[in-house]
Amino acid sequence: MSSNFPDLVQVKEKALEIRANSLKMIHAAKSGHPGGSLSIADILSVLYFGGHLKHNPLNSHDPNRDILVISKGHASPAVYSVLALAGFYPIADTMSFRQLGSKFQGHIDSLKVPGVEMSTGSLGHGLSNAFGFALAAKLDKSQRKVFAILSDGELQEGQCWEAFMACAHYKTNNLVAIIDRNRIQLDGGTETTMALDPLEDKLSAFNWETKTINGHDLEELDNALKEAYRVSEETNKPFAIVANTIKGKGVSFMEDAVAWHGVAPSDTDLEKALVELAGTK
């Protein structure tokens, strides 16, 4: 099990590798979701390589592992990449992404990929799934932590608010939800499509502890997670981190661009993107 003191240089490097590999996968498949994969790369890297999420690549069902539910199942390239980098399978395998017979489905599949806890893709389910894991951990008197990464757009699904209500009601203080607040969904901006702001106020009104941070600042992420564990223990409330992110983060022409929600990069796009990412090392 990995629980090293966070080495932020390594966490940063891994985040870049997640981004680069995600784009290679989408390019090879000629389909996929680059924008939302790039926006959560830093969050995933901090969880897996910053010592927050206990995981065991040799036994994906290790009873001592923590749980991460990725509710935005379309960010599958980033998820498959981080699991490969964490040692669950060789990274070269991920190049079969979205091909017939591949375990690397368009949206993440818990029955096919070791390390994926829940199959998601239909938006709005993941927080409920994570809540189930959190209740089970409470029943088992386990110290297990449960994380959920939610997209911001999916919060338009009513089920998310049923789940926010239920988590607070059952005081699942072992659950941290990280909201990838990139402010863009398929049709456009979240605020013009169906406004979510004031998001933190809404979460507070649902009896959650909240903190808004820069979701690309690795130290802020690390600190917010540590604060979440401490505060939730004190207040018995679940904790939501609103991570302000940039959709397409790390590749200039993809950043904040609605068009890159679900489009594959061309050969030239990929080349330019990989050069840019290499330059930020």
Partner 1 sequence: MGAAIEPSTEKIATRVAYGKSLVELAKSNQDIVVLDADLSSSTQTKFFAKEFPERFFNMGIAEANMVSTAAGLAKAGKIPFVSSFAMFATGRAWEQVRNSVAHNHANVKICATHAGLTVGEDGASHQIIEDIALMKSIPGMVVIVPADAKETEKVMQVVTAYNGPVYVRLGRSALPVLFDDKYNFQIGKANVIEKGEDLSIMACGIMVSAAVEAAKILKEKHNKSIEVINIASIKPLDTETIVNSALKTRNIIVAEEHNIWGGLGDSVASALLENCSEKLKFKRLGINDSFGQSGKAEDLLVHYGLTAENLVKLSLEMLDYQS
Q: Is 110 near partner 1 (CB under 8 A)?
A: yes
Determine, following the binding rule CB under 8 A, whether residue 60 of this chain makes contact with partner 1.
no
| Closest distance to partner 1 from the beta carbon of 135 (Å) | 6
Q: Considering only the stretches 21-29, 42-50, 117-125, 251-259, report the one whose residues sit in contact with partner 1 under the rule CB under 8 A.
A: 117-125
Tokens of 151: 């997209």
In terms of C-beta density within 10 A (0-12 exposed, 13-18 middle, 19 or more buried), how is residue 173 classed?
Answer: buried
In this chain, which stretch among 81-89, 106-114, 190-198, 204-212 interacts with partner 1, using CB under 8 A? 106-114
Q: Is 15 within 8 Å of 41 (Cβ atoms)?
A: yes
Among 40-48, 119-127, 187-195, 207-215, the segment contacting partner 1 (CB under 8 A):
119-127
Q: Write the binding mask 120 to 159 for partner 1: x where contact by CB under 8 A, - elsewhere.
A: xxx-xx--xxxxxxxxxx-xx-----------------xx
DSSP for 202-245, please give it: HHHHTT-EEEEEETT-HHHHHHHHHHHHHHHHHH---EEEEEE-
The residue from 40, 67, 82, 241 that contacts partner 1 (CB under 8 A) is 67
Tell me: cis bond preceding 238? Omega within 30 of 0 counts.
no
Least distance CB 254 / partner 1 (angstroms) = 29
CB 138 within 8 A of CB 172: yes
Question: What pairing do the DSSP bridges indicate for beta strands 184-185 and 188-189?
Answer: antiparallel
- Nearer to partner 1 among residue 90 and residue 158 (C-beta): 158
Which residue, chain included where needed, has tokens 């809540």? 131
Query: Is 23 or 175 the residue whose CB approaches partner 1 more closely?
Result: 175
The answer to whether 54 and 134 have CB atoms below 8 angstroms apart is: no
Cβ count within 10 A of residue 267: 8
The token pair at 248 is 């397409």
Residue 121 or 262 having the CB closest to partner 1: 121
Stretch that binds partner 1, among 43-51, 114-122, 194-202, 273-281 (CB under 8 A): 114-122
What's the CA gap between 251 and 31, in Å, rounded?
Answer: 18
Closest to partner 1 by CB, 166 or 263: 166
Site size with partner 1, rule: CB under 8 A:
33
Closest to partner 1 by CB, 17 or 66? 66
Report if residue 238 touches partner 1, rule: CB under 8 A: no
* Listed residue (2, 5, 24, 54) closest to 174, CA to CA: 54
Q: Which residues bind partner 1 (CB under 8 A)?
A: 67, 69, 109-111, 117-122, 124-125, 128-137, 139-140, 158-159, 162-163, 165-166, 169-170
